[in-house]
Chain A
């Protein structure tokens, strides 16, 4: 979705930020609302919001209420606080360790992945070098291969290198983002004009300096997009850490919560942690929501602010 926005935004003529005037002009169009479309959009919104709503409601329930009361409304008791306490105290507060691990894995991966993808995308967009088409095709092809399919070969490689059951096993494979490279190439091609680069060269700036001080800044919104993609991808990655890590204390939230969920249905030795797992899931998405809210203004921040006069 976001890519669509960005590419369409960039291809649009550099229209000035919306001013009250054109909005008024649009009024008549607004009045021709399509009821059908509105209903459809509402249904779409419900479709996406209901699971989240369920998660919030379910986080306030005890195990008994979870299975004996209506799923989309609150139960007989309000247990949110108790559930939260349980989330952070079960197994000596291992949950907090998982939060820290996830922030570390996702944060480091996202920062480095967005820098690498931006540099690569910029290079593909602005330089011509032997084999650039071939290399870019390979990267495009790599987008088609799901990470999950690479997880087992990656495991064998990492095991040979003795890196399994270390944070590197999760971070290193997350540093490359073929999709990010593709996105940044498309974005850089439009957002940085060749004349600007020429101008910088004339002023005597080196290629790296041009990239870092001119290109990177102009690519800001794209970088944020790639950053968020990489952040979410690593935050939600389940299979890779599942096969790479053995120690509970190294797990990210995804694997840790799944482990707790499994323990709930273990039969012998079971801990009925259903409500704890659900509340933990709610807690685990809060940082992502915050990241989106904080970073979305960088998307909106005019692509035009760094625009060049043609």
Chain B
């Protein structure tokens, strides 16, 4: 969902163990060519009316409700939902199960940034022959691009996290600011005013959250990673554009206008509850997160698009969200593919995700549903937050790609760039070092670095 950065460290520890597992199952030669021919309606009807047991590993709470809709439509299919952990733990278990050749689930929840890692090991079922292309137009473009490439469709988008600016109107007003900053230049000026007049930080740049920083790079049009689906990767985390973004933050950090606390821990929540932070450049899932965590600030928040690098532009990045993928080891590919598609495509199911579990939808049907978008959120002073993030979602750059070893990239980010953020040090040098580390790792793993 959000990110697995906190578990990234744990995964790095286990990476030593899985390292041989990953390289153990060589993708070469073992892959049966995916037939591009569509399955026939007969095959589909037969599969969906044969008593079948499916296992679905996901950490999404209460997903049984959406699965129940699926089982209602296809009474012969019996789905067992298991929560084996979140983020890192979850992937670890999936890999262990794949490796041991037994006990792997049919369908898994998969965050966008880890899809290439599972493609590297050739573990995902190509959903294209199972009719995935038919629904490609029903999701926001950039989300569909995250789950598909020219070789296939690897997952179905479940939720996304287009980024915006959530801020405390009461604190900003005290600093004499009445509207959200439109550009980063204004944002820096506002940061100064907020710090001087109220003592709060306009926002925080975490030391432990690569996903947020990468979301901000995504917004700036930086393309730090690419992967051709085989053995060639592109690593460009220290490009001039990336350095420009981090130099901007470094300046604010060194002037003590932006705090550098680790996020998603008690201290961070206390900072949000106690006015230490006057805002958060965060994702579409954050409004609901704040409502649960810092109820005492209800009514004092507002949402706006991210500040822009050039005035008049409207672009955003993404932070978090996930998809559902089918593992190639499944014995019931048709039913499993239908489960992944159904819960993320059926109107009732996607609406339920959005209104009961508060996932920010990737499906257009929900984003165009006025009962969802027109909802006024009291926590945000009656603002139509869903509508705003729906608009922002349309401005997310579509061509962002990931490495097939995001765990490693994230853990190294924390170690190198995160540490530099915390030390208020030189972030450009840190980017160079991150680049160097990633390139040498990729070469060691036998990738060609473009």
**A contact set with B: CB distance below 8 Å:** 62-68, 91, 152, 155-156, 159, 162, 164-165, 242-243, 246-248, 259, 262-272, 274
Q: How far is the CA of A52 from the CA of B61 in the complex (A)?
A: 29
**Segment from B28-36, B69-77, B268-276 that makes contact with A:** B268-276
Q: How far is the CA of A65 from the CA of B286 in the complex (A)?
A: 19
Partner of B270, one of A67, A162, A164, A263: A67
A64 touches B357 (CB 8 A): no
A268 touches B85 (CB 8 A): no
Partner of B322, one of A152, A156, A248, A268: A268
B294 touches A67 (CB 8 A): yes
User: Digit string of B265-304 for contact with A (CB within 8 Å is 1, else 0)?
Assistant: 0100110111000000001111011011111100000000
Partner of B273, one of A68, A269, A271: A68
Q: Which residues of A contact B60 (CB under 8 A)?
A: 269
- In the A-B complex, the 4 residue pairs with the smallest Cβ-Cβ separation, listed nearest first, are A267-B2, A272-B292, A268-B285, A268-B1
- A67-B294, A152-B17, A259-B86 known; A269-B159 Cβ under 8 A: yes
**In residues 60-88 of chain B, which contact A (Cβ within 8 Å)?**
60-62, 80, 82-87
B85 touches A259 (CB 8 A): yes
Q: Which residue of B lies closest to A248 (CB)?
A: B83
B293 touches A63 (CB 8 A): yes
- A63-B293, A165-B103, A262-B85 known; A267-B3 Cβ under 8 A: yes
Q: How far is the CA of A165 from the CA of B96 in the complex (A)?
A: 13
The 13 sampled A-B contact pairs (Cβ below 8 Å) are: A64-B296, A65-B296, A66-B269, A246-B57, A264-B292, A267-B3, A267-B285, A267-B286, A268-B161, A268-B284, A270-B2, A270-B292, A272-B292
Q: Which residues of A contact B80 (CB under 8 A)?
A: 247
Q: Nearest chain B CB to A255's CB is how many angstroms away? A: 8
Q: How far is the CA of A242 from the CA of B84 in the complex (A)?
A: 8
A68 touches B274 (CB 8 A): yes
Q: Which residue of B lies closest to A65 (CB)?
A: B296
Q: Nearest chain B CB to A252's CB is how many angstroms away? A: 14
Partner of B274, one of A67, A164, A268, A272: A67
Partner of B62, one of A91, A159, A264, A265: A91
B296 touches A68 (CB 8 A): yes
Q: Which residues of B contact A268 (CB under 8 A)?
A: 1-2, 159, 161, 283-285, 320-322, 358-360
Q: How far is the CA of A212 from the CA of B17 in the complex (A)?
A: 45
Q: Which residues of A contact B415 (CB under 8 A)?
A: none
Confirm or deny: B100 has a beta carbon within 8 angstroms of a beta carbon on chain A. Answer: yes
Q: How far is the CA of A89 from the CA of B285 in the complex (A)?
A: 24
B292 touches A242 (CB 8 A): no
A248 touches B161 (CB 8 A): no
Q: Which residues of B contact A62 (CB under 8 A)?
A: 295
User: Digit string of B401-430 for contact with A (CB within 8 Å is 1, else 0)?
Assistant: 000000000000000000000000000000
Confirm or deny: B102 has a beta carbon within 8 angstroms of a beta carbon on chain A. Answer: yes
B357 touches A263 (CB 8 A): no
Q: How far is the CA of A124 from the CA of B407 in the complex (A)?
A: 49
**In residues 1-59 of chain B, which contact A (Cβ within 8 Å)?**
1-3, 6, 17, 57, 59
B59 touches A272 (CB 8 A): no
Q: Which residues of A contact B296 (CB under 8 A)?
A: 64-65, 68
Q: Which residues of A contact B103 (CB under 8 A)?
A: 159, 164-165, 246
- A91-B62, A246-B84, A248-B82 known; A269-B293 Cβ under 8 A: no
Confirm or deny: B93 has a beta carbon within 8 angstroms of a beta carbon on chain A. Answer: yes
Q: Which residues of A contact B273 (CB under 8 A)?
A: 64, 67-68
Q: How far is the CA of A268 from the CA of B61 in the complex (A)?
A: 10
**B contact set with A: CB distance below 8 Å:** 1-3, 6, 17, 57, 59-62, 80, 82-87, 89, 93, 96, 100, 102-103, 159, 161, 264, 266, 269-270, 272-274, 283-286, 288-289, 291-296, 320-322, 353, 357-360
Q: Nearest chain A CB to B122's CB is how many angstroms away? A: 22
Q: Nearest chain A CB to B21's CB is how many angstroms away? A: 11
- A263-B86, A268-B2 known; A63-B357 Cβ under 8 A: no
Q: How far is the CA of A246 from the CA of B83 in the complex (A)?
A: 7
A270 touches B93 (CB 8 A): no
Q: Nearest chain A CB to B266's CB is how many angstroms away? A: 7
Q: Which residues of B contact A272 (CB under 8 A)?
A: 289, 291-293
Partner of A247, one of B2, B82, B358: B82
- A159-B102, A267-B286, A267-B289 known; A68-B1 Cβ under 8 A: no
B266 touches A67 (CB 8 A): yes
- A67-B274, A68-B296, A267-B289 known; A246-B82 Cβ under 8 A: yes
Q: How far is the CA of A269 from the CA of B352 in the complex (A)?
A: 11
Q: How far is the CA of A156 from the CA of B102 in the complex (A)?
A: 11
Q: Which residue of A lies closest to B2 (CB)?
A: A267
B269 touches A270 (CB 8 A): no
A270 touches B285 (CB 8 A): yes
Q: Nearest chain B CB to A229's CB is how many angstroms away? A: 28
B288 touches A270 (CB 8 A): yes
Q: Which residue of A lies closest to B265 (CB)?
A: A265
Q: Which residues of A contact B93 (CB under 8 A)?
A: 243, 246
- A64-B273, A159-B103 known; A267-B1 Cβ under 8 A: yes
Q: How far is the CA of A30 from the CA of B103 in the complex (A)?
A: 65
A68 touches B320 (CB 8 A): no
B161 touches A267 (CB 8 A): yes
B274 touches A269 (CB 8 A): no
Q: How far is the CA of A159 from the CA of B101 in the complex (A)?
A: 10
Q: Which residue of B lies closest to A75 (CB)?
A: B296
Q: Which residues of B contact A66 (CB under 8 A)?
A: 269
B89 touches A68 (CB 8 A): no
B294 touches A64 (CB 8 A): yes
Q: Nearest chain A CB to B112's CB is how many angstroms away? A: 12
B100 touches A269 (CB 8 A): no
Q: Which residues of B contact A248 (CB under 8 A)?
A: 82-83
Q: Nearest chain B CB to A261's CB is how many angstroms away? A: 10
Given A152-B17, A266-B59, 15 further pairs, Cβ under 8 A: A63-B293, A67-B269, A68-B273, A91-B62, A246-B57, A246-B82, A246-B103, A264-B292, A268-B285, A268-B359, A269-B358, A270-B358, A272-B289, A272-B291, A274-B269
Q: How far is the CA of A246 from the CA of B81 in the complex (A)?
A: 10
Q: Which residues of B contact A156 (CB under 8 A)?
A: 100
Q: Which residue of B lies closest to A272 (CB)?
A: B292
A269 touches B61 (CB 8 A): yes
Q: Nearest chain A CB to B39's CB is how many angstroms away? A: 30
Q: Which residues of A contact B3 (CB under 8 A)?
A: 267
Partner of A67, one of B159, B288, B293: B293
Q: How far is the CA of A271 from the CA of B86 in the complex (A)?
A: 13
Q: Which residues of A contact B1 (CB under 8 A)?
A: 266-270
Q: Which residues of B contact A264 (CB under 8 A)?
A: 292-293
Q: Nearest chain A CB to B268's CB is how many angstroms away? A: 9
